[in-house]
Amino acid sequence: MSSIGVLKIALLAGGTSSEREVSLKGAEVVKKALEKLGHKYEFFDPAQDLPKLAQRAKEFDCAFLVVHGPGGEDGTLQGFLDSIGLPYQGAGVLGSALAMHKGISKSLYKLAGLNVPEGKTFSKDSSFEIIKTYGEKIGFPLVVKPATQGSSIGLSVVKDKKDLKKAVEAAFNVDREIILEKYLKGKEITVGILDDKPLPVVEIVPKVSEIFDYETKYTPGLSEEICPARLSERLTKKAQEYGLIAHKTLKLRHYSRTDMIIVEDEIYVLETNTIPGMTETSLLPLAAKVAGYSFPALIQKLLELTLRDKNT
């Protein structure tokens, strides 16, 4: 055990988003790590247990969040924990909200000098004609995705304009705002940040799907993750620098993971995850492992960062 001693932790997972199942899977892995570290924990599901946690907040040293998507990663839960005085790992309210909206985070990336794919945000009030006109302007294939969902839920690659309406409806089915974006074909990578330092770059090679979609992300064997990524030293450094710029631009803390794509030696930033996945197939734990952190050591590091920053 380190200097923080034995902790009593409120482990939050589940919630009401479409990523509930992934969240619960991650929590099982985190539970084993906490047991190995000798910490005590109690499980709370934000879908129903928040009133109970509010009453008992003083019993815990901190919360540990394994909650993804709206209601868990968008600042809502972070605001609740701030209000009951319970410290937690990862981004605060502002950073969570900024990173959750892919359209807003994309605008901030651009202001910070990062490359992003050409694209635009549309609300449910937008007529399909306006959306179609923009789609034709950027050309096919293009990507249609919800503005505030994670795990590639509701995302489609549209190769032909006859399929655009179906993809737009699918994205609006899970979100009030959607993004149309130029489809970039290249090498998919992701850069984790831990304690304001970049981790080794992970390269993602989908084996079946042409994109790293929900099924590919969470089904072992459907993609190959290579860490360190097969990149030149120059591109590796540039990707890590981009990951750190994205992390700082979105006002994040402790850790994050930014997804990117490399097209002809040019790196484009796609999105940043403020509560990266913690399942057996997750990417940030893989990068941390290559950097020398076992899974329990990664959890311990995040707990140390949480307690270090609880008064800041």
Catalytic residue among 105, 152, 156, 282: 282
Mean pLDDT value across residues 280-308: 94
Contact 265, 112 (CB under 8 A): no
Task: Confirm whether 232 is a catalytic residue.
Answer: no
Which residues, including other chains, have CB under 8 Å from residue 192's CB and lie 6 or more apart?
Answer: 198, 199, 202, 243, 255, 256, 257, 276, 283, 284, 287, 288
Cis peptide before 296 (omega within 30 of 0): no
Q: What's 64's domain CATH number?
A: 3.40.50.20
**Residues 225 and 77 occupy one common structural domain:** no
Q: Tens of pLDDT along 136-181? A: 999 999 999 999 876 577 899 999 999 999 999 999 998 999 999 9
Range(s) of the domain holding residue 70: 8-90
Query: Per the annotation, does 273 bind a ligand?
Result: yes
Catalytic residue among 17, 19, 188, 256: 19
Domain annotation covers residue 297: no
State the pLDDT at residue 1: 43
**Residues 75 and 18 occupy one common structural domain:** yes
Query: Per the annotation, does 259 bind a ligand?
Result: yes
Domain annotation covers residue 54: yes
Mean pLDDT value across residues 96-118: 96
Q: Tens of pLDDT along 182-223? A: 999 999 999 999 999 999 999 999 876 665 454 545 455 678
Catalytic residue among 18, 151, 156, 256: 151
Task: Confirm whether 19 is a catalytic residue.
Answer: yes
Task: Confirm whether 151 is a catalytic residue.
Answer: yes
The 10 Å Cβ neighbour count of residue 133 is 10
Domain annotation covers residue 261: yes
Give CA–CA dist 242/193, Å, rounded. 11
Question: What's the pTM value of the predicted model, to 2 decimals?
Answer: 0.92
**Residues 14 and 82 occupy one common structural domain:** yes
pLDDT grade for 65, boundaries at 50, 70 and 90: very high
**Residues 254 and 111 occupy one common structural domain:** yes
By percentage, how much of the chain surpasses pLDDT 90?
85
